[in-house]
Amino acid sequence: MSPISTLPRRSLAGLLLAAAATAPAQVHAQAQADPLPSWRDGEARRAILDFLRAVTTEGGREYRPPEERLAVFDNDGTLWVEQPIYTQVVFAFDRLRAMAPQHPDWASREPFRAAISGDKAALAAAGEKAIVEIIAATHTGMTPEAFRQTALDWLATARHPRFDRPYTECIYQPMLEVMRLFRAQGFRTCIVSGGTTEFMRPWAERVYGVPPGQVVGTTFKLRYELQRNRGELLTLPEIDAVDDGPGKPVGISRFIGQRPLAAFGNSDGDYEMLQYTTTGDGRRLGMIVHHDDAEREFAYDRLSPIGRLDRALRDAPAAGWQLISMRQDWGQVLP
């Protein structure tokens, strides 16, 4: 017998009535509510709120009109979990195995053989070049739309090895709140990620509220062609632009066309994006998510091969970049 069936009939209606009666008060309470409920009070939280107050207070010395309000966010390690390995790399390896039956030559061709058979020693020896080849083989030779569907299909079933939930739920609740708060204050929120644009676009709007045109990432070259009387774009196995390090300000300028007022990152790959943002005129905000919470997520910085944070950590105080301590500043990590 379920607990609800033990309630007398009247009490259910009574509960509904009570809920209805309190609704207006709840709405009011929500409007007054903490805009960053997953953040603990501290310097990081105050830096965000102070910055927003400064640039949105009309008549204030640091006021910026809505058309200048741009905030950029790295994705891996800043908006979603990047350990123990970048999600897009996990996807590429899974995809390679799924595609293997259609590519019998891969059984004897490196680095595909090593990746498919799980030969970690051979893969490690092949290094980064092998990863790039595996990403190209699984991400190109199709239309962006067809690729997006493979990404969506994979994300629908794949689960994070530690958190045992879909990767699109391995996102940081406090950062969702920051993006929402920035948008509520008239900011455009853009993703500027080392991952490929097309891997993020199909779900960034649903998960982060960021539409496809505001997702900047690494891109492959495209070729326009007619396929059965239909205009299509073919993704070519040739990198067009790498959106990492100094490529991030380049991508921001090219795609968005203005210098951000605020930037959030977590690794040395975000160094130049933070620098480009915070060396602009007037009030700026640069923040670094510091992964120091082995218990609830992961703890890594200077020595990590994934999401290495060394140079940016060293230069943060001089540059005025505010660290976000996952352990201290976030009351909750995942949603």
Footprint of a copy of itself on this chain (CB under 8 A)?
67, 144, 188, 197-198, 201, 205, 211-215, 219, 222-224, 226, 229-231, 233, 240, 246-247, 249-250, 253-258, 272, 275-277, 279-280
Closest CA to 128 of 99, 75, 92: 92
To a copy of itself, the closest distance from the beta carbon of 278 in angstroms equals 8
Q: Write the CA distances from 70 to 8, 164, 176, 255, integer angstroms.
A: 54, 34, 16, 13
SS3 217: strand
To a copy of itself, the closest distance from the beta carbon of 88 in angstroms equals 17
Looking at beta carbons only, is 166 or 246 nearer to a copy of itself? 246
Looking at beta carbons only, is 223 or 302 nearer to a copy of itself? 223
Angle between helix axes 87-99 and 144-157 (nearest 10 degrees) is 100
Looking at beta carbons only, is 115 or 210 nearer to a copy of itself? 210
**DSSP per-residue string spanning 135-175:** HHHHHSSS-HHHHHHHHHHHHHH-B-TTT-SBGGGSB-HHH
To a copy of itself, the closest distance from the beta carbon of 250 in angstroms equals 5
To a copy of itself, the closest distance from the beta carbon of 18 in angstroms equals 34
Cβ–Cβ < 8 Å for 80, 73: no
Residue 114, Cα to own-chain centre: how many angstroms?
A: 29
To a copy of itself, the closest distance from the beta carbon of 275 in angstroms equals 5
SS3 7: coil
Looking at beta carbons only, is 176 or 233 nearer to a copy of itself? 233
To a copy of itself, the closest distance from the beta carbon of 49 in angstroms equals 26
What strands, in cross-sheet order, belong to the sheet with 70-73?
230-241, 215-227, 188-196, 70-73, 262-265, 285-290, 322-325
Cβ–Cβ < 8 Å for 278, 284: yes
Looking at beta carbons only, is 272 or 329 nearer to a copy of itself? 272
Please, where are the H alpha helices in the chain? 9-31, 43-56, 87-99, 112-117, 120-139, 144-157, 173-184, 197-208, 247-255, 271-278, 311-319, 326-329
160: number of Cβ within 10 Å: 19
To a copy of itself, the closest distance from the beta carbon of 157 in angstroms equals 24
* φ, ψ for residue 40, nearest 5 deg: -85, 150
Closest CA to 262 of 21, 11, 44, 10: 44
DSSP 39: B
Cβ–Cβ < 8 Å for 265, 244: no
To a copy of itself, the closest distance from the beta carbon of 246 in angstroms equals 4
To a copy of itself, the closest distance from the beta carbon of 135 in angstroms equals 18
Looking at beta carbons only, is 284 or 290 nearer to a copy of itself? 284
